[in-house]
């Protein structure tokens, strides 16, 4: 890998994505910060913070469930920052709803969480193969991608899909020195966990915890993790030292699920 490296982080306006973008900048990478257009104020603030670390940064907007948008994110990153060496496909949505859910909720959750992972891997890998210097692809899975639970069927399916996709693409891309790994957080204190569900008007924090803990050892109820702790794992996988680790979905959940 060349000494100057550039990353693209999706869903970076807040939460885990924001922490990951800052961490990669502190590690010395230039960072393209991506989210939906309506998050522009938060994204622009993050761009300024990253520039404060004396790294180059650019804001790139788009819905990651759209192939056209993901192609544009990759192209803009390369045209503004010079290359694409690390992608953190972090953007995602959480809905707690019965398996009797609407087809719309199922489709939207699958599109934003699973299809987006496929699109980010596909277009990042195409760019990295063209560049010919390997790369690092990091995707957001979940504890819910390792353990099914009541009332989070669409979310679980989308995060299990990420796990399979990570294994398959790691096998395919290792010949190009591109690693593909996923983090599987348990309970991380981010805006995702504190907003109220538009469907049930319950706090998603409570809904998600109790559903995902069903069937697991409740005595192992974890303390909450921080976005910075997930960013630490992202930092490792993005590093040159992590070249021998690929196809993994690593839990970061306080020992909830082994």
- Closest to ligand NAI by CB, 2 vs 107, is 107
9-17, 22-30, 44-52, 129-137 -> range binding ligand NAI (CB under 6 A):
9-17
Closer residue to ligand NAI in complex, CB, 11/135: 11
* Residue in 39, 115, 159, 183 annotated catalytic: 159
Is 23 near ligand NAI (CB under 6 A)?
Answer: no
- Is position 191 an interface residue for ligand NAI (rule: CB under 6 A)? yes
Exactly one of 36, 110, 150, 199 binds ligand NAI (CB under 6 A); that residue is: 36
Reply yes or no on whether 159 is catalytic. Answer: yes
Closest CA to 129 of 169, 73, 89, 79: 169
240 Cβ contact list (under 8 Å, min separation 6): 1
Contact letters for ligand NAI, residues 69-98 (x by CB under 6 A):
---------------------xxxxx----
Instruction: State the nearest-atom distance from the C-beta of 159 to ligand NAI, in Å.
Output: 7
Catalytic residues: 155, 159
User: Given the rule CB under 6 A, which residues bind ligand NAI?
Assistant: 10-11, 13-17, 35-36, 39, 63-65, 90-94, 112, 140, 142, 185, 187-188, 190-193
């Amino acid at each position: 890998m060349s000494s100057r490296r550039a990353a693209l982080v999706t869903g970076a306006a807040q939460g885990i994505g924001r922490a990951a973008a800052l961490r990669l900048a502190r590690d010395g990478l230039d960072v393209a910060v991506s989210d939906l257009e309506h998050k522009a104020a938060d994204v622009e603030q993050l761009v300024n913070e990253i520039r404060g670390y004396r790294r180059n940064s650019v804001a790139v907007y788009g819905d990651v469930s759209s192939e056209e948008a993901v192609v544009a994110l990759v192209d803009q990153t390369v045209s503004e920052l010079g290359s694409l060496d690390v992608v953190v496909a972090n953007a995602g949505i959480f809905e707690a709803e019965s398996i009797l859910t609407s087809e719309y909720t199922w489709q939207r959750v699958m599109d934003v969480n699973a299809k987006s992972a496929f699109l980010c891997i596909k277009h990042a890998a195409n760019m990295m193969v063209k560049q010919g210097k390997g790369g690092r692809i990091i995707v957001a899975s979940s504890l819910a991608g390792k353990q099914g639970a009541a009332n989070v069927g669409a979310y679980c399916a989308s995060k299990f899909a990420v796990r399979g996709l990570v294994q398959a693409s790691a096998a395919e891309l290792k010949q190009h020195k591109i690693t593909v790994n996923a983090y599987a957080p348990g309970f991380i204190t981010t805006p995702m966990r504190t907003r109220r569900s538009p469907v049930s008007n319950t706090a998603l924090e409570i809904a998600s915890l109790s559903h995902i803990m069903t069937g697991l050892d409740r005595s192992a109820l974890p303390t909450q993790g921080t976005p910075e702790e997930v960013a630490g794992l992202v930092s490792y996988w993005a590093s040159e030292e992590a070249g021998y680790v690929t196809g993994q979905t690593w839990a970061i959940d306080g020992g909830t699920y082994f």
